[in-house]
Amino acid sequence: MSELRAPENPFGTYLKDRRTRMDPAAFGFPADRRRTPGLRREEVAQRANISPTWYTWLEQGRGGAPSADVLDRIARALMLTDVEREHLFLLGLGRPPEARYRKNEGVTPRLQRVLDALDPTPALIRTATWDVLAWNLASTVIFADFGAMPPEQRNMLRFLFLDPRARAAHYDWQGVARFVLGAFRLDSARAGAAADIEPLVEELARLSPEFRSMWRDGKLPSMPHGETVKHIRHPVLGQLAFEYSTFAVDGRTDLSLLVYNPATRHDAERIAAML
């Protein structure tokens, strides 16, 4: 039995694989008289605005390492997802690309179905700037009715610092606020969204003296970021505890899935009854 061997030029092999999956007609190229599927090398080079010879050398493993700018052009030309783009950089340069934040107006119906299937466990999807894009029914019962808010107001920091309901819900609001603010700093920095959070930071610093003081303090979270236990005081159900976890959304480095799993069966039953 023959051994499975890795390609001698994995970078070039990856480029060729992605190129052959492209539909020429979708980009205005003639689809007839092609010996192989997908785009030709010169067509990818045209879309990436680089020399056809240079692109050919890249597929053949010649000419040295490409620059980050060239890889970005090729990634756009081949319409790579964020995950595919990162893989391209790892193959071509041995490192991931710099964080690139892209705004999003919503989530796919598939992601919304995932949220809905989690009821009675509260769950929502947020951006790197902590705007809430999607949520399920349980999250509206436990936290806030995001659907009743104007889209520009659906931000977790804005809710925490400006809404009295958030302050009343937390037993240690100061500690929670400091931790959340540190986690927000990390998320926005990792996603390359520093410029995008400036309007929000300026607004909150103007409206909330506590935010202004904590933001200037600049401390990072001391608790583990990703999984922890969250205790809240619900106006109807009273004390509730949740195992809080954050998950990356596959193929979307700018989105996070937040799941608040009831810590006890009794809590889950009480939430289900309210739904």
Evaluated on CA atoms 27, 76, 71, 5, the torsion sign reads negative
Q: What is the DSSP letter of 263?
A: S
Q: Which CATH class is domain 10-93?
A: mainly alpha
Q: Which residues of 155-169 are buried (b: 16+ CB within 10 A; e: fewer)?
A: bbbbbbbbeeebeeb
Helix (H) or strand (E) holding 167: helix 164-169
Contacts with 62 (C-beta within 8 Å, 6 or more apart), sequence order = none
- Is the domain spanning 109-274 CATH 3.30.450.180? The answer is yes
Residue 217: is its pLDDT beyond 60? yes
Tell me how far apart the alpha carbons of residues 50 and 76 are, in angstroms, rounded to a whole number: 12
Burial class (CB in 10 A: 0-12, 13-18, 19+), 206: exposed
Alpha-carbon distance values, 228 to 45, 126, 170, 249 (Å): 48, 18, 15, 19
Q: What is the pLDDT of residues 35-56, one digit of tens each?
A: 778 899 999 999 999 999 999 9
Joined tokens for residue 199: 């309007």
Quick one: pLDDT band at residue 31, thresholds 50, 70, 90?
A: confident
Quick one: pLDDT band at residue 57, thresholds 50, 70, 90?
A: very high
Residue 6: is its pLDDT beyond 50? no
Q: What is the pLDDT of residues 113-137, one digit of tens each?
A: 999 999 999 999 998 889 999 999 9
User: For the residues 72-98, what does the mean pLDDT come to?
Assistant: 86
Tell me how far apart the alpha carbons of residues 92 and 208 are, in angstroms, rounded to a whole number: 46
The whole model's pTM is what?
A: 0.64
Domain boundaries, the chain: 10-93, 109-274
Joined tokens for residue 228: 């922890």
Q: What is the DSSP letter of 131?
A: B
